[in-house]
């Protein structure tokens, strides 16, 4: 079986997949990739199912090497990555030679990059998923971030010999890249984050609602995979509200009594008890997930129709890229 | 809300509504106040929806008065309107006839808990807020079995009630940045146990030595929805002797 060896772990490199759905009724958080678009894109670029496990690299990346010649793709944040010191292209499939150090630098723009490998990372799934639950310490690689010396299983497709692999055998280069399919980019950043008004929207002061739509909010340094805390004008309720805890989802914007909103992210809990002023639309969560602490954000209200249209458009883009990637790799079309 | 019982095995639902939770989730509201009877309806609807095994639905999650259904809009027909509307219609179709009542065997479980001091740093403040002494807080917390309504916050983390009315305190004004694993906490008529160390806003009155979650077990939780929890005071020495590892 193919293996990824970790020479240097980076700040926070964790395995994540499409998420641990199906266990929230036992209080198990979903986890999964913060930037779902980039994680899924990396997977389809190497011909994997979109929800396969990939490595989520935060701010400063690792150095790894593979036991076999391996097809990889790096997506998401703008990050320098080299094979044996030679820069690699990102957002496309690249065959890298076995035992060559693949070194990631700092994220220059965006907060998270994703490394997918052909076949997918394959430590044993826990409760149906390979996503890492850092807080409860299970899933991924022993429920924790990568450490130097780790060996992570990679599932190689049986007896596969891709055209890129043949080129690698005939070449002396450390890597051979495939073409980049059209539209294979990281999420757009800098635009307003679009939201649906939440169930308690009307319970907030008119000034708070106006502030949420028009003012700038800064991603606090206390933000993590569980939630983004936002600094900006305090958002006050018209009158105090003690709520029965109920469902929250990826992108739910809760406002605790202090008035500073929190956007619930990948490691959120399944249920929450604070007033919900908004839901960030799913299509804009990847952009939000790429916002580093200190990033200034603006929010813009949209309708449920827009949210659904944008989500489906994103799915369609991914399907188109997946088909093109498979064609470029010489994989049978699905 | 009113729950009629047309025949022995079926719960007829008379007052419920479906609300969106963002663009990939909805929830069915089955009541406005936390109660044992609303919770039983929540559990019955959860069981019934799980049994449907609908394509495009990836999670069914009960809370106190609501059941959330997480879905993938891309798995719904493009030409039949929004996924939210399609799923809502499906849910209406299966709920309108009533759902099989879940008969909770109602295991009564005695949960050991060491009260006060470092194990329950908010015990004295709770006693002051309730205008009773700490011994009375402990007595009332242990006096009646608490029905396990829902799990959330962390894996296997139970929320149970109703607490004795004398113990009705709100959440702390300022959440703690770190609450130790096993902490037994109360707020708004409900008791919870922090399965993992984490930030938290509830009033911590005790700590249990029990581990409540194992990924290798099926189901992975030590306690089950509908169980009746009876807390039993233990000493710090007993706590140490009973302390379980959290794998």
- Asked if residue B92 belongs to a domain, the reply is yes
Task: Compute the nearest-CA separation of A165 from chain B (Å).
Answer: 34
The closest alpha carbon to A132, from A227, A43, A13, belongs to A13
Residues B54, B167, single domain; the answer is no
Tell me: the pLDDT tens digits for B17-50?
999 999 999 999 999 999 999 999 999 999 999 9
Mean pLDDT throughout B221-231?
Answer: 96
* Least confident residue range of A60-74, A84-98, A160-174, A246-260: A160-174
- Residues of chain A neighbouring B33 (CB-CB closer than 8 A): 244
Cβ–Cβ contact A234 with B under 8 A: no
Contact yes or no for B32 and A308 at CB 8 A: no
pLDDT of residue B105 exceeding 80, the answer is: no
B81: left (phi over 0), alpha (psi -120 to 50) or beta: left
Segment A156-168 shows an average pLDDT of 88
Residues B237 and B152 in one domain: yes
- Domain with residue B51: its CATH number is 3.30.1360.40
Residue B79 placed within a domain: yes
- Residue B199 CB-density burial (10 A; 0-12 exposed, 13-18 middle, 19+ buried): exposed
At which of B39, B73, B100 does a domain end? Answer: B100
Residue A288 pLDDT > 60, yes or no?
Answer: yes
Q: Let me know if residue B195 belongs to a domain.
A: yes
The overall average pLDDT reported for chain B is 92
Mean pLDDT of B63-87: 97
Residues B147 and B57 grouped into a single domain: no
pLDDT tens digits for range A33-84: 999 999 999 999 999 999 999 999 999 999 999 999 999 999 999 999 999 9
What is the radius of gyration, based on Cα positions, of chain A? 20
Stretch 117-146 of chain A: residues touching chain B, C-beta under 8 Å: 126-127, 133, 135-136, 138
Answer yes or no: do B113 and B146 share one domain: yes
User: What SS3 state is found at A103?
Assistant: strand
Report the residue of B38, B54, B61, B153 to disrupt the A interface, i.e. the one with the largest count of A CBs within 10 Å. B61
ipTM of this complex prediction, to 2 decimal places: 0.96
The mean predicted confidence, pLDDT, of chain A is: 96
| B124 and B232 part of one domain | yes
Is residue B47 assigned to a domain? yes
Parent domain of B93 = 3-100
Last residue within a domain, chosen from B66, B81, B100? B100
pTM across the whole model: 0.93
For residue B75, the distance in angstroms to the closest alpha carbon of chain A comes to 10
Contact B210, B243 (CB under 8 A): no
- Flag whether pLDDT at B227 surpasses 90: yes
More confident residue, B176 or A110: A110
Is B247 contained in some domain?
no
B66/A contact by beta carbon, under 8 A: yes
CA distance B71 to B241: 45
Residues B156 and B202 both lie in one domain: yes
B180 at the A interface (CB within 8 A)? no
Per the domain annotation, does B26 fall within a domain?
yes
Same domain, B197 and B116: yes
Asked whether the beta carbons of residue B23 and residue A270 sit closer than 8 angstroms, the reply is no
Domain boundary (B65, B100, B135) is at B100
Check whether residue B90 and residue B146 sit in a common domain.
no
Give pLDDT tens digits for A214-243: 999 999 999 999 999 999 999 999 998 878
Instruction: Determine whether the interchain pair A282/B154 forms a contact, defined as Cβ–Cβ distance below 8 Å.
Output: no
Q: How confident is the model at residue B103 (pLDDT cuts 50, 70, 90)?
A: low
Beta bridge pairs of residue B12: B4
Residues B148-179: pLDDT tens digits?
999 998 899 999 999 999 999 998 988 888 99
Cβ neighbours of B150 in A, within 8 Å: 271
Q: Where are the beta strands (DSSP E) in chain A?
A: 2-8, 12-16, 54-58, 63-66, 70-83, 86-87, 93-96, 102-117, 151-154, 175-177, 193-197, 217-219, 227-231, 246-247, 252-254, 262-264, 271-272, 276-280, 296-297, 299-301
Q: Is the pLDDT of residue A334 over 60?
A: no
Given a cut of 80, is residue B12 above it in pLDDT?
no
The answer to whether the Cβ–Cβ distance between B63 and A271 falls below 8 Å is yes
Residue with the bigger pLDDT between B15 and A202: it is: A202
CA A60 to chain centre: 15
If you search the block for the tokens 């929004």, which residue do you land on?
B82
Nearest in space to B32 (alpha carbons), one of B66, B74, B72: B66
Domains in chain A with CATH codes:
2-186 (no CATH), 193-302 (2.40.100.10)
Which candidate in B30, B152, B227 is best for mutational testing of the A interface (most A CBs within 10 A)?
B152
Is the CB of A223 inside 8 Å of chain B's CB atoms?
Answer: no
Beta strands in B99-155 (DSSP E): 99-100, 108-115, 146-151
Three-class DSSP labels, A172-231? CCCEEECCCCCCCCCCCCCCCEEEEECCCHHHECHHHHHHHHHCCEEECCCCCCCEEEEE
Q: Do B220 and A127 touch (CB under 8 A)?
A: yes
Residue in the block written with tokens 């499409």: A18
Q: Are residues B92 and B117 in the same domain?
A: no
- Please tell me the total count of domains within chain B: 2
* Helix (H), strand (E) at residue B204: strand B203-207
CB contact under 8 A, B24 and A249: yes
Structure tokens at B78: 């493009």
Chain B neighbors of A315, CB-CB under 8 A? 74
- Indicate if B9 and B93 belong to the same structural domain: yes
What's the CATH number where B177 sits?
2.40.100.10
Radius of gyration of chain B (CA): 20
To the nearest whole percent, how much of chain A has pLDDT over 90?
90
* Cα nearest neighbour of B76 on chain A: A312
Query: Are both B207 and B236 inside the same structural domain?
Result: yes
Cα(B206)–Cα(B119) distance, rounded to whole angstroms?
Answer: 5
Let me know whether B169 and B49 are in one domain: no
Instruction: Return the half-sphere exposure (C-beta side, CA atoms, 13 A cut-off) of residue B33.
Output: 7
Residue B230 located in a structural domain: yes
């Amino acid at each position: 079986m193919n293996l990824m060896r970790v020479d240097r772990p980076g700040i926070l490199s964790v395995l994540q997949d499409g998420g641990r759905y199906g266990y929230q009724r036992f209080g198990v958080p979903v986890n999964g990739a913060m930037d779902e678009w980039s994680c899924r894109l990396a997977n389809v670029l190497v011909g994997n199912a979109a929800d396969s496990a990939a490595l989520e690299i935060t701010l400063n990346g690792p150095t790894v090497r593979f036991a076999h010649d391996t097809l990889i793709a790096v997506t998401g944040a703008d990050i320098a990555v080299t094979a044996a010191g030679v820069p690699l292209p990102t957002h496309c499939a690249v065959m890298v030679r076995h035992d060559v150090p693949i070194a990631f630098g700092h994220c220059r723009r965006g907060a998270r990059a994703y490394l997918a490998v052909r076949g997918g990372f394959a430590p044993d799934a826990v409760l149906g998923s390979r996503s890492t639950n850092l807080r409860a310490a299970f899933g991924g690689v022993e429920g924790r971030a990568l450490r130097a010396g780790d060996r992570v299983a990679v599932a190689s497709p049986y007896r596969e010999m891709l055209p890129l692999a043949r080129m690698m055998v005939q070449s002396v280069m450390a890597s051979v890249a495939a073409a980049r399919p059209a539209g294979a980019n990281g999420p757009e950043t800098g635009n307003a984050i679009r939201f649906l008004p939440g169930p308690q929207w009307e319970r907030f002061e008119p000034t708070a609602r106006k502030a949420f739509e028009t003012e700038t909010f800064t991603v606090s340094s206390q933000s993590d995979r569980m939630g983004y805390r936002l600094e900006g004008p305090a958002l006050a309720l018209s009158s105090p509200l003690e709520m029965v805890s109920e469902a929250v989802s990826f992108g739910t914007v809760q406002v605790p009594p202090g008035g500073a909103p929190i956007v619930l992210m990948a490691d959120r809990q399944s249920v929450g008890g604070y007033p919900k002023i908004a839901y960030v639309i799913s299509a804009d969560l990847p952009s939000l997930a790429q916002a580093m602490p200190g990033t200034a954000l603006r929010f813009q209200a949209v309708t449920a129709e827009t949210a659904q249209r944008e989500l489906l458009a994103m799915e369609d883009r991914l399907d188109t890229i997946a088909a093109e990637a498979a064609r470029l790799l010489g994989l049978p079309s699905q | 809300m009113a729950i009629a019982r047309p025949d022995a095995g079926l719960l007829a639902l008379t007052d419920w509504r479906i609300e969106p939770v963002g663009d990939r989730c909805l929830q069915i509201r089955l009541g406005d106040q936390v109660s044992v009877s609303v919770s039983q309806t929540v559990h019955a609807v959860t069981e019934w929806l799980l049994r449907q095994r609908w394509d495009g639905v990836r999670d069914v999650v009960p809370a106190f008065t609501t059941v959330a259904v997480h879905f993938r809009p891309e798995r719904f027909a493009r030409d039949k309107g929004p996924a939210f509307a399609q799923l809502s219609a499906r849910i209406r179709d299966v709920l309108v006839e009533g759902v099989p009542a879940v008969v909770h065997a109602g295991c009564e479980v005695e949960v050991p808990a060491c009260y006060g001091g470092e194990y329950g740093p908010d015990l004295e403040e709770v006693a002051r807020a309730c205008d009773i002494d700490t011994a009375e807080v402990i007595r009332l917390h242990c006096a009646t079995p608490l029905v396990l309504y829902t799990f959330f916050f962390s894996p296997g983390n139970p929320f149970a009630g109703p607490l004795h009315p004398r113990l009705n305190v709100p959440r702390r004004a300022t959440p703690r940045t770190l609450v130790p694993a096993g902490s037994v906490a109360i707020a708004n008529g409900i008791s919870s146990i922090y399965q993992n160390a984490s930030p938290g806003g509830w009033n911590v009155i005790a700590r249990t030595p029990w581990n409540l979650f194992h990924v290798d077990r099926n189901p992975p939780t030590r306690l089950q929805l509908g169980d009746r929890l009876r807390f039993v005071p233990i000493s710090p020495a007993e706590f140490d002797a009973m302390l379980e590892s959290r794998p």
